[in-house]
């Protein structure tokens, strides 16, 4: 909505634009500082101004962050951890999205007595503090022989992502006309045929939202990563924290910042490319429709 009738004066407009631009600058400062620092030499950082552009830009810190920075006892940069995160995030997103789609379908189009309580329990599971399941999960991963492995993290992320993916698909399929389902049933189509032929082809928007939401959450996860993995098996966020928190040797702020930007890049790219859907995902997660 907007107050079109109260014609704002020119002065008002200037103040509004001014405020908006000042805030935009404030929000951009940390990203700018990260980027600027990541292209500076250590000498320039020590003597310099954090808000200044690099005088002699260098990509050396990026190369070091990617390939040779020391994390723990190994000095091979963050590339291995970056791939760990990729190997974790891809299967976890695909599996949790697929299950969420099926669950949402059942919970809207094949309702059974008690479907509401089933959904309620799955919904509350989205919001629990994960501290309340960490200790049992660590025990179970150990007993399954997948502690400190990517497979273990995939399992954890699938399980604790199910609530949200189910929520997204349930809300989307809820608005899908039941008549189409009924007429397909008249034609003899079964449970899976209806899902495959009728619902799935029109699910592209919600699949995009769910995939983006899950990708962002799982890529950015730290708690599960730090609890259930260590050493060379850690995901990107854990490696970044270890790199930045390490206190041995010379503190290479430029390398830290390059690593931070690398850790942020996948989700930032998704945000820039598909911001609209990203937003919808956040809102759907926040405001249950």
Footprint (CB under 8 A) of another protein, residues 161-190 = 162-163, 166, 185, 190
Rounded to a whole number of angstroms, the minimum distance from the CB of residue 20 to another protein is 5
Our finding on whether 245 is near another protein (CB under 8 A) is yes
Which residues in 198-237 contact another protein (CB under 8 A)? Answer: 216, 219-223, 226-227, 237
Q: How far apart are CA 222 and CA 224, in angstroms?
A: 6
Rounded to a whole number of angstroms, the minimum distance from the CB of residue 94 to another protein is 15
Our finding on whether 250 is near another protein (CB under 8 A) is no
Our finding on whether 86 is near another protein (CB under 8 A) is no
SS3 196: helix
* Cβ pair 46, 269 in contact under 8 A: no
Our finding on whether 197 is near another protein (CB under 8 A) is no
Beta bridge mates, 74: 71
- Total number of residues binding another protein (CB under 8 A)? 100
Which residues in 18-77 contact another protein (CB under 8 A)? Answer: 19-21, 23-24, 27-31, 33-34, 37, 45-46, 49-51
Beta bridge mates, 71: 74
Q: Is 147 left (phi over 0), alpha (psi -120 to 50) or beta?
A: beta
Which residues in 107-166 contact another protein (CB under 8 A)? Answer: 107, 110-112, 116, 118-125, 127-137, 139-140, 159-160, 162-163, 166
* Cβ pair 105, 173 in contact under 8 A: yes
* Cβ pair 110, 122 in contact under 8 A: no
SS3 283: helix
Which one of residues 63, 86, 94, 102 is an interface residue with another protein (CB under 8 A)? 102
Structure tokens that stand for 109 in this block: 């189009």
Which one of residues 57, 67, 205, 275 is an interface residue with another protein (CB under 8 A)? 275
Our finding on whether 196 is near another protein (CB under 8 A) is no
Beta bridge mates, 277: none
């Amino acid at each position: 909505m907007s107050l079109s009738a109260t014609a704002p004066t020119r002065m008002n407009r200037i103040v509004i634009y001014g405020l908006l631009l000042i805030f935009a600058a404030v929000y951009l400062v940390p990203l700018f500082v990260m980027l600027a620092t990541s292209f500076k030499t250590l000498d320039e950082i020590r003597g310099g101004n954090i808000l200044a552009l690099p005088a002699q830009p260098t990509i050396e810190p990026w190369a070091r962050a990617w390939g040779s920075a020391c994390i723990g006892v190994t000095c091979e940069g963050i590339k291995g951890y970056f791939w760990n995160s990729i190997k974790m995030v891809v299967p976890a997103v695909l599996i949790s999205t697929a299950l969420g789609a099926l669950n949402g379908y059942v919970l809207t189009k094949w309702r059974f007595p008690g479907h509401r309580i089933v959904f309620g329990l799955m919904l509350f599971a989205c919001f629990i503090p994960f501290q309340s399941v960490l200790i049992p999960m660590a025990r179970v991963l150990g007993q399954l022989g997948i502690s400190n492995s990517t497979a273990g993290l995939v399992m954890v992320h699938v399980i604790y992502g199910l609530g949200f993916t189910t929520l997204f698909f349930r809300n989307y399929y809820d608005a899908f006309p039941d008549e189409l389902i009924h007429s397909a049933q008249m034609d003899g189509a079964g449970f899976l045929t209806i899902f495959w032929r009728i619902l799935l082809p029109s699910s592209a928007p919600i699949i995009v939202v769910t995939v983006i939401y899950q990708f962002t959450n799982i890529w950015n996860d730290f708690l599960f990563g730090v609890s259930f993995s260590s050493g060379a098996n850690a995901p990107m966020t854990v490696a970044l924290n270890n790199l930045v928190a390490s206190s041995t040797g010379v503190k290479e702020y430029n390398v830290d910042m390059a690593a931070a930007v690398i850790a942020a890049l996948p989700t930032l790219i998704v945000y820039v490319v598909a911001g609209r859907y990203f937003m919808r995902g956040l809102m759907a997660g926040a405001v249950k429709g």
